[in-house]
Amino acid sequence: MTGKQVPEPPQTAVVRGVASSSAVWRDEQRSRAVPVKMYRPAVQSPAPVVLFSHGIGEDRDSYAYVGEALAEAGFLAVHITHAGTDRAVLERGYLHLYRAVKKKENWINRVLDVSFVLDQLATDPGADLHRVAVAGHSAGAFTAFAVAGLRTADGGTLRDPRVRVIIPISMPRMDGVVPPGGYDAIHIPTLNMTGTCDASLIYRTLPRHRRAPFERTVATGHYLVTIEGVNHDTFSNPEDRQHSLIASLMIRFLRGFLLDEPASRAWFQEEGMTHLSGTGLTIERK
């Protein structure tokens, strides 16, 4: 995909020693602007890349705790705004957002946004595109699964082979969208994350529905972490006491399965299918 950067007033900030900057790239093929916010590590260049896909009604400025923690740990975190399902749509009212969620093209564009951003990072000397992960919350979890090879009911797939690891958080209920076996082609390491209170009244989703991707796949290399007391908004709230735990789990998984660090990998493999006493975590694996 071809693209160019759209002029934007400089927006650079330093928080906790991590430099963040914003830009807007334009995908000419889709006539679409793709805003991003990048959190760069202080050292290690080129750095492994983690793209983050937001949930419905959020944008590139959401989940800052994830970007800051990843950059502190040595990753280049790139948060994407997906036009059509972002905060700008929410600000027009919940009815408008509800209608936007029903449009198939908005879900497809999310996945294409990820591949487009990877294309743009190809010229960034600070990005190591041999080590790429995609993480996402709620609708962003669908985005992560889709770039990893999720097969939808129409038989389509938008897999991007550059992605080596995914971290889908609170996958939405996708009845009628993901058919039986839809997750089976995903053979890269996958960390599913959810909470015991991870429900949505609007979308009639219960905590057990968030387990569906893990339970329905027959592929190996899939993990599920369930955090006691965590609900759907815990992951996206500007502040929450569980953020450090969530970020540390993501970083440990990335170190183990994207950077191939034996100790981090072993932690998930050896503790799998157990309840870690006193931690509020349950870890399952396939």
What pLDDT shows up at residue 262? 94
What pLDDT shows up at residue 5? 56
pLDDT, averaged per 10 consecutive residues of the chain (286 residues), comes to 52 67 97 97 90 97 97 97 93 84 93 98 96 98 98 92 98 91 94 96 88 92 95 96 96 97 90 59 90
Where do we find the tokens 């450090």?
244
Residue 190: which of 170, 208, 214 has the closest Cα? 214
Instruction: Give the CATH architecture of domain 3-285.
Output: 3-Layer(aba) Sandwich (3.40)
For the chain, which residues make up each domain, given as ranges? 3-285
pTM comes to 0.92
SS3 readout for the chain: CCEEEECCCCCEEEECCEEEEEEEEEECCCCEEEEEEEEECCCCCCEEEEEEECCCCECCCCCHHHHHHHHHCCCEEEEECCCCCEHHHHCCCHHHHHHHHCCHHHHHHHHHHHHHHHHHHCCCCCEEEEEEEEEEECHHHHHHHHHCCCCCCCCCCCCCCCCCEEEEECCCCCCCCCCCCCCCCCCCCEEEEEEEECCECCCCECHHHHHHHHHHCCCCCEEEEEEEEEEHHHHCCCCCCCHHHHHHHHHHHHHHHCCCCHHHHHHHHHHCCEEECCCCEEEEEC
What pLDDT shows up at residue 2? 57
Asked if 230 and 202 touch (Cβ cutoff 8 Å), the reply is: no
State whether the Cα torsion 164-138-192-177 is positive or negative.
negative
What pLDDT shows up at residue 9? 46
What pLDDT shows up at residue 7? 46
Asked if 50 and 73 touch (Cβ cutoff 8 Å), the reply is: no
